[in-house]
Chains A and B, each alone.
Chain A
């Protein structure tokens, strides 16, 4: 009976932890998506790179780096690689003012984050 009670408590704690962690991950990915969507796309922002472009890209990069402290405990590095590479590209292309590459990196980042959100959120589509 003691083992059963202990197992029930552990199972409840595990379920709560999974739900809590998944919610935190989804929330963080939501913040990253919002920041990425707000990145400027106009040609005028790139030659030379505007203050707004650089600060928003830095903000996104900082949040992504912060997220990389706990994301690897939940998802594998292979899952994070695509988004990580896109985040680094965004910072590099913002500094160099290459609009076309920047926009491609932005699309890649948004797509990677959307995939992670689907896979690590609490939803049944992630089972696939």
Chain B
């Protein structure tokens, strides 16, 4: 009895420590690997608690191994380009410029019912109200309403915002890495990218922390120097 109590204490403390180690993302928006890790962790932690013949090392070793691997595989894609391609699926534009991309929906195995359900949950009644719908890597749909559907803001009253319609900003460079999928979504190529950088007096892609381009070719560049990255 005392052994089970002590085992529970140890496993609980270990789990709290590893979940803290995994970070806040674990609690809210989980990616596929994080979801799998969380399920595995709970199952592994339960083993020595229910089976007295199962040694503690059977839980501790795999839990630590899984958490370390999870940290590696969430960190490495941010630094190594091919790892990002291998492990992260890029965001998918389901509705672009007000038009539903059925091919992309089929690729994402998303039905029209799913899209309508998500729209309604987000407070919209029809896809016509949406300019852009982006399926994020964490599985959530982000909606960008059409101008006429946007709620009024203080900025609108003060006429600070320009009247021109806004479009989705594609992150073509993140942390010094060119995002091929974003370039493709923005219908741009590397030649255009380098000329835009040159225009902004940026000599190297590595200097850029974030560069976005929208459909009106409006670019925004934040260099690593500016944000202290």
Contacts and interface: CB of A to CB of B under 8 A. Distances in A.
Q: Say if A and B assemble together.
A: yes
Interface of A: 1, 3-4, 6-8, 10-11, 14, 18, 72-78
A76 B53 contact: yes
Interface stretch (B58-66, B145-153, B207-215): B58-66
A73 B48 CA distance: 11
A77 B3 CA distance: 14
Contact of B53 (A8, A74, A77): A77
B55 A7 contact: no
Contacts of B58: 76
Contacts, number: 42
A48 B216 CA distance: 101
B68 A3 contact: no
A14 B68 contact: yes
A3 B53 contact: no
A120 B54 CA distance: 15
A19 to B, nearest CB: 12
Interface string B1-35: 00000000000000000000101000000000000
Contacts of A6: 21
Contact of A78 (B53, B71, B75): B53
Contacts of A11: 64-65, 68, 72
A72 B48 CA distance: 12
Nearest to B48: A76
B71 A7 contact: yes
B57 interface: yes
A3 B65 contact: no
A89 B91 CA distance: 66
